[in-house]
Amino acid sequence: MDFNQLISIIVSTANFYAIWLILSLSLNYEYGYTGILNFGKVLFFSLGAYSSGFLAANLANIMAGVSFDICSVEAVQLRLDLAKAVPQLPLLVFVASLIMGAALSAAVAYLLYISTSRIKEGFVLGIILLSAGETSRIVVRNYEPVVCGYHGLVGIPNPYTAAGDPTSASFLLSITIWVIAGVAFLFINKLTATPYGRKLKAIRDNELAADIYGKKPSHERRKVLMIGSAMAGVAGVLYAYYLGFVAADDFTSLKTFDIWVAVMLGGVGNHLGAVTGSLVVTLIDRGTRVLRVFLANLSIPLETLYLRWIIVGVLMLLILMYRPAGIIPEKSIKTLGLLRIIERIKREKT
């Protein structure tokens, strides 16, 4: 492995980690803070990716005044040629995709939530979301006009084509992915480090008591699911543009499982836990992929996909046995008023 390959692997791993971080933060916000069993996180992740591919492909046809099949070689070439002819266009489409992916994911989350809002058992929403995610994948896989069905949609132009050379464009896209991931972390951390965050945890811990005190659990959970889903939609857009390719089979239910593993490993209800857990899962995923290439070059017939699940399974068992609260456990909430009362009691005793 030469130096350039090593740099490529490091950059790729860092970018996938940033995307996984957004997903883990969104799930931790939903489940760790509000107790929403979102077993369909991949649905909202995929909606962002689908909207990116669909928008980029069809907008190119509209601007060129043609009606090519978006899956054809001519359509792929048209998208790439148009990006070179109008370098600012891919960036505008990228921004539009971010808005569309977030809005579509939030809207679908709202519709799915209100469909089960009359049912008190939280697991029902989780099952509905799980079913919706798999149903969406099957429909898109067999309906070519969305992202070319089974084969997938290729030729999504890099949004920074105006940079001139592919290396600079890829570097700028990587910076963008990390900036968005950083903004997502700051946003969700700022949002929950307030009385609002304590209200969400009160709803998670005792919904009946929160309802009695007028905290409107159903209303708050709907908002949380919409915000978390919008974040997942943004992650899907970044994923599609980074790969330049979208396929329905990339969004199986195993993706949701990966996100849950990251949150559980890191620590539920703790954003630093999501940061840590997503890093562990990303390193395992990318590391076993690199190992697969290395073993193939040595003609060693070992399927590292199974090795990956073995490592994840062992880690989960160890965490459940020795650190059930995760690598970075959730800290207890200490309000300023409570601390003052404790200090006053101590002074009175002395």
pLDDT higher than 80, residue 27: yes
> Which pLDDT belongs to residue 56?
92
Contact between 25 and 184 under an 8 Å Cβ cutoff? The reply is: yes
Contact between 24 and 277 under an 8 Å Cβ cutoff? The reply is: yes
Q: 153: which strand partners?
A: 246
Mean of pLDDT values over 124-146? 92
pLDDT higher than 80, residue 59: yes
Mean of pLDDT values over 81-108? 94
Helix, strand, coil shares, percent, the chain, to 5: 80, 0, 20
Identify the three-state secondary structure at position 100: helix
Q: pLDDT confidence of 342, banded at 50, 70, 90?
A: low
> Which pLDDT belongs to residue 330?
81
> Which pLDDT belongs to residue 313?
87
Taking only the tens place, the pLDDT of each residue in 179-227 is 999 999 999 999 998 888 889 888 888 888 888 878 888 889 999 999 9
Taking only the tens place, the pLDDT of each residue in 261-284 is 999 999 998 899 999 999 999 999
> Which pLDDT belongs to residue 31?
94
Sequence ranges of the domains in the chain: 13-251
> Which pLDDT belongs to residue 341?
67
> Which pLDDT belongs to residue 334?
60
Query: In this prediction, what percent of the chain has a pLDDT beyond 70?
Result: 94
Query: In this prediction, what percent of the chain has a pLDDT beyond 90?
Result: 57
Contact between 56 and 133 under an 8 Å Cβ cutoff? The reply is: no
Mean of pLDDT values over 153-166? 90
